[in-house]
Amino acid sequence: MHPAHFHVTVDVVALTITDGVLKVAVVQRDSKTSCIDQRRNGDVREIPRDSKHHWALSGGHVRYDTENINEAAARELFEETKIKVDPESLVQLGAYGALGRDPRPGRTVSIAFLAFQPMFSDPIAGTDAKQARFFSVLDLLTEPNRLEFDHELMLLDAIQRVREMVLTTPIATSFCPPQFTMSELREVYEVLWHPAYDKEISDADRQRLAAELRRYENSDEYQLLSSLKNQSARGNTESRTAQPRGLSSGSVYSRIESEFPEFRYQLAQMPQERLNQITKILMTEAKSNVPKKPEIKKRLDPANFARKVEKIPGFIEKISDSELRSSMSGTGRPAQLYRRGDIQRLDPPLRLEVKRGKGKTKWD
Amino acid sequence: MHPAHFHVTVDVVALTITDGVLKVAVVQRDSKTSCIDQRRNGDVREIPRDSKHHWALSGGHVRYDTENINEAAARELFEETKIKVDPESLVQLGAYGALGRDPRPGRTVSIAFLAFQPMFSDPIAGTDAKQARFFSVLDLLTEPNRLEFDHELMLLDAIQRVREMVLTTPIATSFCPPQFTMSELREVYEVLWHPAYDKEISDADRQRLAAELRRYENSDEYQLLSSLKNQSARGNTESRTAQPRGLSSGSVYSRIESEFPEFRYQLAQMPQERLNQITKILMTEAKSNVPKKPEIKKRLDPANFARKVEKIPGFIEKISDSELRSSMSGTGRPAQLYRRGDIQRLDPPLRLEVKRGKGKTKWD
DNA sequence: CCAAAAGTGTTCTTAGTACACCCATGG
DNA sequence: CCATGGGTGTACTAAGAACACTTTTGG
C-alpha cells in the first residue's frame, strides 16, 4: 500500500487564433503561489529566462473533496485568466506524470485540458496583462519565452489534438466570430497546419520556422494592423493616446504627415471622423506592407475548400438574408456569411491532404 | 494549498482477438487487496454480481517515488496477468478522476492505458484462471459479468481508441500471428467495428447485440471449435482427458460413435494419429454448425481490402518464398502470408467507410 | 461434382484537384 | 483602369465500390 504522496493538478491549454496567429493563454505566476513545476529547466537544458519571460499554462490543484478534474480545470482557468468555459466542453489531453516534474516532496501528476469553447476575440478582459495574456504559440517555442518544459509538451500535444478535432468536429468554428466568412474558416485550417507546430519536427527546424513567423508578427505593419483592428472593432477611444508599440519606421507616419500636416499637434483634438480617416489610411498602408504569411503548409484552394465544407451536413449554415461582409483584407468581393451548424461530429470528416511523410517516411 | 489526499492508480486495458472475438484481460481481486473502486455499483445501478462474476481491469497504485505512470502500468499488468509489455508501447487513454469513484477516504485518480503490443495468443500463461484471464468484451458488457462502472467506460474508450489507431498505425498486425493472411488481418477490422462496441449506442441496443454475439460464442460448436483449435495448435495432450466444456448436444458425438464405435472405451488408449482423425471430424462438424458471426458492421470486400492495405507503403510485407497457409476455415484456396512492415504510422491512413451516422445524424 | 475462400481484373461512380472565368469591391 | 479576393463552372485524375471470373483447397 502506498501512502498518498501525490499532488494532482490540472493545466489548461486555451487556444485562439487572432490575426492569423495561433495564440495560447498563459499566466505569469510569482514564485510564491506557483505550485506546478516551477524552475524545471535545470535537468533538461539551461534556458535563458527572466521574470518577464516566465510564462506557464494556467492551472493548479484539484480540490480533492469537492470537484471533478474538469471542473477544477475550468475553475483554475477562470481564476487566472477570467476566461469562462463550460467544464463539459473541456477536452482532456491526458495525464503528465513523469517523475521529477516537480522538485517538491511528493509527486505531482498533472492532467492537461484543451479549451476553445469561447471565441477568444478579446479575452482575459479585466486582467492585468502582466499576469495573464494570450501569447503567440510560436513565440513560446522560441528562445526568450519558453514555457516550462512539460508545458511545452502539453502545448504541442494540444495542437496535435486540435488538428484532429477540427477535422472530425465543428470546433473550427470556435476560432471564428459567430458570423464568419469562408476565408475566416479556411484560415483556421491554414494556420493550424503550419509545419512549425508539427510535433515530430526537429527543434532546429522549429526554431527556424518560428523565427520566420515571428518576423512576420513583429513587423511594424503587423503590429500596427492588429492594434488598429482592435481599435476600430470596439471603437474604444482609450487607445487614441496610446501609440501602437513597436512603431518606429517612418514610412506610414510620413505619409500621414504629408496628407495631414497638422497631425503632430492636433491629433488629440481631432474629431472622430477625421481619426477614422487616418485609421483607414494607416490600415491600408499596413496591409500593403505586411509580408505574406510565410509558408503555410498548403494554401488551401478556396473554391475546393468551400465546396468540401458545405457538403458536410450540419457543419455550417449559410446566413441567407444577411449582409455580406467585406473580406479580411478590405479589398475583394464581399463574402457570404455563415454560422456554425448544430451537429457534434463532422460526418463524413473533413479531409485535407496532409502529407505526413515529410522527413522520415520512405517513399519508393 | 490543498493537502495531498490523492491516490494515483493505473488501469490497463489489454486487448486481444481470438477466434473472431474481442477479449480483454481482467482480474478477479479479493476484497482485501482491491484498491480501485470496489463496490461501485450502488450509486449507479444495482447489478447482480457474485464473486465469480466480479472482474476488473488489472491495475494498482503508482509507486510515487520510483516509477513513471506508464512503468507502473506495465508493472501492474505483469504482476497481475503475467503479460509482459514495453512501458513505452502503452498508450495512455486519459485520467479518470470523477468524484466518488472510490469510497475510501481521500480521492483516487486513475490513469488508463491501452496495451496490445504482444500477440496475446496464449496469454496469462501460468496464472490461475481464477485470478486473471481474457474475457470476451461483449460478455463484460452484459449482465452477470459487468465490470466496475468506470472500468466499463475505460473499456469503451479503449475500443474507440483502438479503432482510430488501427486506421493510422500498423497495430492491427498486433492482433495477428507473426505471419498472417489477409483474412486474418481483415477480421481484426471486422471484429473491431462491431456496432456493439460503439460508445454512443443505447444500453438496450448494446444488450441486444451483445446477446447475439454471446449466443454465438456460447454455442456448443464454437466452444468445441476453439478448444479443438487450441488443442491442435499446441498439440498438448493434457486436454485429451479434459472434455470440452459446454458440450451437451449429441450430434457431434453421435457421428463419432457411428464411425468409431470403440470410442467410449478406447479413447484414452487411442494413438495420436487416430485422435487427430477424430479431431478433424469434430472440427469439420463444428465449423459447419457454427452460426454465422452475427451482423458485423460491414463485411469488408476481401479484394478491395487487400488492395487498399497493400497500397500503404510499409504496412505489411508479402512473405515471398514461404509456405502458403490454408484458410481459417480449412476450406478454400491457401492464402499468401504477410508479416508486419517497419513503419510507425499508416501514411496515408487506412480508410474504411464507417458510416457513423447510424441513429442521430440527419441526412436529408 | 460443390462450397468456400483466395486472388485478379474490370466497370462504374465518386471525391478531389487544378484550373479558367466572371463578379464585386477598394484604390 | 488594376489588384484582390469571392464565387461558379469544368475537365482531368485518383480512389473506391461492386461484381464477375479464375484458382485452389476440402469434402
Q: Is the pLDDT of residue B343 over 90?
A: yes
Q: Is the pLDDT of residue A213 over 90?
A: no
Least CB-CB distance to B4: which of A63, A66, A106? A106
The alpha carbon of residue A196 is apart from the nearest alpha carbon of chain B, in Å, by 20
pLDDT of amino acid A273: 64
Q: Is the pLDDT of residue B238 over 70?
A: no
pLDDT of amino acid A20: 80
Q: Which of A346-355, B134-143, B263-272 shows the lowest per-residue confidence on average (mean pLDDT)?
A: B263-272
The alpha carbon of residue A192 is apart from the nearest alpha carbon of chain B, in Å, by 20
Residue type, A219: S
Higher pLDDT, A193 or B237: A193
Where does the pLDDT of residue B15 fall: very low under 50, low under 70, confident under 90, or very high at 90 and above? very high
Q: Is the pLDDT of residue B327 over 80?
A: no
For the CA of B316 and the C1' of C6, the distance in angstroms is 18
Query: What's the helix, strand, coil split of chain B in %, to 5?
Result: 40, 15, 45
Contacts of A347 (CB under 8 A, 6+ apart): A312, A313, B356, B357, B361
pLDDT of amino acid A114: 97
pLDDT of amino acid B8: 92
What are residue A35's phi and psi, to 5 degrees?
A: -115, -15
Place of cell 460491414: B298
Contacts of A169 (CB under 8 A, 6+ apart): A344, A345, A346
* Percentage of chain A lying above the pLDDT 90 cut: 32
Q: What is the C-alpha separation between B234 and B221, in angstroms, rounded?
A: 20
Higher pLDDT, A174 or B133: A174
Q: Which nucleotides of D are covered by protein (CB under 7 A)?
A: 3-10, 15-20, 23-27
Burial (CB < 10 A; 0-12, 13-18, 19+), residue A248, is exposed
pLDDT of amino acid A67: 92
pLDDT of amino acid A73: 96
pLDDT of amino acid B357: 40
What are residue B92's phi and psi, to 5 degrees?
A: -80, 130
Higher pLDDT, B236 or A116: A116
Q: Is the pLDDT of residue A247 over 70?
A: no
DSSP letters of A335-359?
A: B--EEE-S-SS-SSPP-------SS
Mean pLDDT of A353-359: 50
For B71, nearest residue in chain A (alpha carbons) = A98
Question: How far is it between the farthest Cα atoms of chain A?
Answer: 80
Residue type, A213: L
Mean pLDDT of A254-280: 61
Higher pLDDT, A201 or A175: A175
pLDDT of amino acid A139: 83
pLDDT of amino acid A297: 58
Q: What is the C-alpha separation between A47 and B71, in angstroms, rounded?
A: 29
Q: What is the C-alpha separation between A139 and A316, in angstroms, rounded?
A: 32
DSSP-assigned letter for residue B293: P
B280-315 per-position pLDDT tens digit:
666 666 655 655 555 555 689 999 999 999 999 999
What are the counts of helices (DSSP H) followed by strands (DSSP E) for chain A?
10, 8
Where does the pLDDT of residue B114 fall: very low under 50, low under 70, confident under 90, or very high at 90 and above? very high
DSSP letters of B107-146?
A: EEEEEEEEE--S--SS-STTS-TTTEEEEEHHHHTSGGGP
Place of cell 499637434: A265
Q: Using alpha carbons, list the distances in angstroms from residue B27 to A12, A185, A364, B11.
A: 35, 49, 46, 11
Q: What is the C-alpha separation between A312 and A305, in angstroms, rounded?
A: 11
- Select from 3.40.50.2300, 3.40.50.720, 3.40.50.300, 3.90.79.10 the CATH code of B8-161: 3.90.79.10
Mean pLDDT of A259-264: 60
Instruction: Count contacts between A and B (CB, < 8 Å).
Output: 118
Higher pLDDT, A169 or B82: A169
Q: What is the C-alpha separation between A176 and B114, in angstroms, rounded?
A: 35
Max avg pLDDT among A138-147, A233-242, B287-296: A138-147
Least CB-CB distance to A61: which of B2, B65, B343? B2
Do B15 and B114 contact (CB within 8 A), yes or no? Answer: yes
pLDDT of amino acid B64: 82
* Percentage of chain A lying above the pLDDT 70 cut: 59
Do A26 and A133 contact (CB within 8 A), yes or no? Answer: yes
For the CA of A136 and the C1' of C20, the distance in angstroms is 39
Q: Average model confidence (pLDDT) for chain A?
A: 74
Contact residues on chain B for A356, CB-CB shorter than 8 A: 345, 347
Q: Degrees (nearest 5) of the Cα angle A69, A75, A78?
A: 145
Q: Where are the beta strands (DSSP E) in chain A?
A: 6-18, 21-27, 56-61, 91-96, 107-115, 132-136, 316-318, 338-340
B335: nearest nucleotide, CA–C1' criterion: C6
Q: Average model confidence (pLDDT) for chain B?
A: 74
Q: What is the C-alpha separation between B332 and B116, in angstroms, rounded?
A: 30
For A96, nearest residue in chain B (alpha carbons) = B69
Mean pLDDT of A234-255: 37
Q: Which residues touch strand D (CB under 7 A)?
A: A 181-183, 302-304, 306, 324, 327-329, 331-336; B 280, 284, 301, 303-304, 308, 311, 324, 326, 330-334, 351-353
Residue type, B194: H
Do A175 and A17 contact (CB within 8 A), yes or no? Answer: yes
Place of cell 444577411: A322
Contacts of A276 (CB under 8 A, 6+ apart): A232
Place of cell 456448443: B220
Where does the pLDDT of residue B91 fall: very low under 50, low under 70, confident under 90, or very high at 90 and above? very high
Max avg pLDDT among A15-19, A112-116, B201-205, B278-282: A112-116
Q: What is the C-alpha separation between B172 and B335, in angstroms, rounded?
A: 19
Q: Is the pLDDT of residue A237 over 90?
A: no
**Considering only CA atoms, which of B205, B189, B180, B217 is closest in space to residue B296?**
B189
Alpha-carbon dihedral sign for residues A176, A180, A184, A186: positive
The kind and range of the H/E element at A210 are: helix A203-218
Q: What is the C-alpha separation between A345 and A25, in angstroms, rounded?
A: 26
DSSP letters of B64-114?
A: TTT--HHHHHHHHHHHHH-----GGG-EEEEEE--TTS--SSSEEEEEEEE
Q: What is the C-alpha separation between A20 and A136, in angstroms, rounded?
A: 10
Q: Which of A98-107, B48-57, B230-239 shows the lowest per-residue confidence on average (mean pLDDT)?
A: B230-239
Q: Is the pLDDT of residue B362 over 60?
A: no
Mean pLDDT of A103-128: 71
Contacts of B33 (CB under 8 A, 6+ apart): none
Where does the pLDDT of residue B83 fall: very low under 50, low under 70, confident under 90, or very high at 90 and above? confident
Higher pLDDT, A316 or A199: A316
Where along chain A do its domains lie? 8-161, 220-289
Q: What is the C-alpha separation between A309 and A243, in angstroms, rounded?
A: 41
DSSP letters of A120-188?
A: -SS-STTS-TTTEEEEEHHHHTSGGGPBPHHHHHHHHHHHHHHHHHHHHSGGGGGGS-SSB-HHHHHHH
Do B282 and B255 contact (CB within 8 A), yes or no? Answer: no
Q: Which residues touch strand C (CB under 7 A)?
A: A 280, 284, 301, 303-304, 307-308, 311, 324, 326, 330-334, 351-353; B 181-183, 302-304, 306, 324, 327-329, 331-336
Is B313 in contact with A109 (Cβ distance < 8 A)?
A: no
pLDDT of amino acid B168: 94
Q: Which of A162-166, A227-231, B238-242 shows the lowest per-residue confidence on average (mean pLDDT)?
A: B238-242
Where does the pLDDT of residue B82 fall: very low under 50, low under 70, confident under 90, or very high at 90 and above? confident
- Reading the block at residue B232, the C-alpha cell is 491442435
**Considering only CA atoms, which of B347, B208, B227 is closest in space to residue B286?**
B227
pLDDT of amino acid B36: 36
Where does the pLDDT of residue B342 fall: very low under 50, low under 70, confident under 90, or very high at 90 and above? very high
Contact residues on chain B for A67, CB-CB shorter than 8 A: 99
Q: What is the C-alpha separation between A213 and A225, in angstroms, rounded?
A: 16
Q: Is the pLDDT of residue A15 over 70?
A: yes
